Amino acid sequence: MRYLIFFFIIGLTLFTSSCRQDFEFEPSTGGLFFSKDTVYLDTVFTNIGSSTYTLKVYNRSDKDIKIPTIQLGKGQASKYRMTVDGMVGNNNRVFNDVELLAKDSMYIFIEVTADVAEANPTDFLYTDIIEFRHANGEVQDVDLVTLIQDAYFLYPKRFSDGTTETLTIEGIEEPVYGFFLDENDPVNGNEYVWGNDKPYVVYGYAAVPGGKTLNVQPGARIHFHADSGLIVGNGASFKANGTLENNIIFEGDRLEPGFSDVAGQWQTIWLTAGSTGNEIDNVIIKNAAVGLNIDSNDGNFMTIKNTQIYNSSLIGLYAKTAKIRGENVVINYAGIASLACTLGGSYEFKQCTFNNNWSSSRQVAVLLNNYYEDENGAQVPFDLVQADFKNCIIYGSNTYELSLDPATSGLFNHSFTKCLLKFGSSSNPLYSFLFDNPEVKRNENPKFLNIQNNQLNIGDDSAARGFGDDVSVPFDILGNPRTTPFDAGAYNWTTFQD
């Protein structure tokens, strides 16, 4: 029996060894297929690395092949980098004898970091090719195209001892990675004027100290890196006055389409306590943690007009004991609240649209509050002198899109006149004013054009059509004149085009 087992093992070994065939790779002669003939790496800022893009290469033949050379057309001088099937090759630019099995494929991952001076001066495109050089002399190639944008870069100074500039902010224990703007920066010039000749890219917190004013001009584009933002200090001013034709845009610095609506890419625009003379008009704020963070002003009302705030991971407009007049303000998508008026204050919003379709069961469109709790859990009240909403839409994906959170003492004054609200049934006396009230339309659909794309325009069948009064906001957010019967919300109704 022992010999039978021995001969069985010997036979099995001979059988398996006779069936095994080592792969024999033939030099390639062309015929590769590609997932795309041009790889567009979208737009990047000068000298800022891109995201990683993918090209898939197919060998659809029945032969195992070896590609003699895969390389970037500009060779080692190329500003593109790639990995081929997980390999880095010669400095991520040249690869030799790359093997590819029959009926198989491989991935090439591509990145770029280039200066605008290296791009084509007429269209600012930086280009190259990936060459696949075969044994018979045939060359196949795939184009690489990237748009390079020049920009003003604002960031903390680095000192000779290796440390970087930081800011000390009241109420925050640790220094914040940030810097004060400079009137005479050797590279950027006057950093208190942000123009529209090229974008601004901010790293860390850019700060405006007391006595200074940051003027943001029509058409300016400001991009914040992760964990970055803008701080306007006590006694400082922020004036961002765009126009209907030239909005000012604040957003993140990831320019790829996949990041166009990703919340929380940067922190906030923070108008701290005591900031003065702030003005915001025709501004778009996208993809922050908190779009506008407004503390108690200088005691005077500040104005926010014709402003859109979208995709805030926490709050769109976060006000604390502030004084704000808002007209034609549109806020959509926020993790907690589109508008949060907290710690009391005075607010008047006319012809505004506050919607919240964040995918959560706890988000709301509007939150009103007049206290905070100290470390012992005791309420510290602040007077909510007024919170007046006129001709506004307060809507969203949840059953209750208005949250009232009063203290046991202190003023908590609010009014909703000719407003369309989303709010379910309730026996809470706080909300009794919403029921059987001709000044309020409850749970009637505004029928926005496209909520997901932040298009909160209303159509001819919207419940907001014709529901408003004349509240002295003569034009809608698109500059169209308002006429009787007036609509609720920031947009006049229009007939949607298919």
Condensed to tens digits (0 to 9), the pLDDT of residues 111-129 reads: 999 999 999 988 999 999 9
- b or e along 258-276 (b: 16 or more beta carbons within 10 Å of the residue's beta carbon)? eeeeebbbbbbbbbbbbbb
54-66 pLDDT tens trace: 999 999 999 999 9
Residue 162 domain-assigned (yes or no): yes
- For residue 389, give the H/E element and its range: strand 384-390
Taking the C-alpha atoms of residue 491 and residue 475, their distance in angstroms, rounded to an integer, is 9
CA 376, chain centre distance (Å): 37
424, 277: one domain: yes
Quote the percentage of the chain above a pLDDT of 90. Answer: 86
Residues of the chain with pLDDT under 50: 4, 6-10, 12-20
Query: Residue 142: which domain range?
Result: 26-149
145, 218: one domain: no
- What CATH number corresponds to the domain at position 263? 2.160.20
196, 251: one domain: yes
Strands 33-34 and 80-84: unpaired
287, 416: one domain: yes
184, 281: one domain: yes
Residue 11 domain-assigned (yes or no): no
136, 158: one domain: no
Of the candidates 153, 173, 174, 175, the residue with the CA atom closest to the CA atom of residue 164: 175
Contact 436, 443 (CB under 8 A): no
40-88 pLDDT tens trace: 998 999 989 999 999 999 999 999 999 999 999 999 999 999 999 999 9
pLDDT at 161: 84
Taking the C-alpha atoms of residue 112 and residue 81, their distance in angstroms, rounded to an integer, is 6
138, 158: one domain: no
114, 175: one domain: no
Residue type, 170: E
Structural domains counted in the chain: 2
Local structure of 452: helix, strand or coil: coil
- What CATH number corresponds to the domain at position 144? 2.60.40.10
pLDDT at 11: 52
How many other CB atoms sit within 10 Å of the CB of residue 467?
A: 22
In this structure, what token pair is assigned to residue 126? 């930086």
Query: DSSP letter at 497?
Result: P
Contact 112, 43 (CB under 8 A): no
Query: DSSP letter at 273?
Result: T
CA torsion sign for 173, 177, 183, 184 is: positive
For residue 469, with 0-12 CB atoms within 10 Å meaning exposed, 13-18 middle and 19 or more buried, which class applies? middle
Taking the C-alpha atoms of residue 346 and residue 289, their distance in angstroms, rounded to an integer, is 24
326, 407: one domain: yes
Which of 443, 461, 481 is the last residue in one of the domains?
443
Contact 32, 140 (CB under 8 A): yes
Residues 6+ apart with CB under 8 A from 408: 379, 381
287, 341: one domain: yes
Residue 364 domain-assigned (yes or no): yes
358-390 pLDDT tens trace: 988 889 999 999 999 999 989 999 999 999 999
pLDDT at 14: 46
158, 104: one domain: no
300-334 pLDDT tens trace: 899 999 999 999 999 999 999 999 999 999 999 99
How many other CB atoms sit within 10 Å of the CB of residue 279?
A: 16
Reduced to 3 DSSP states, what percent helix, strand and coil does the chain have, rounded to the nearest 5?
A: 5, 45, 45
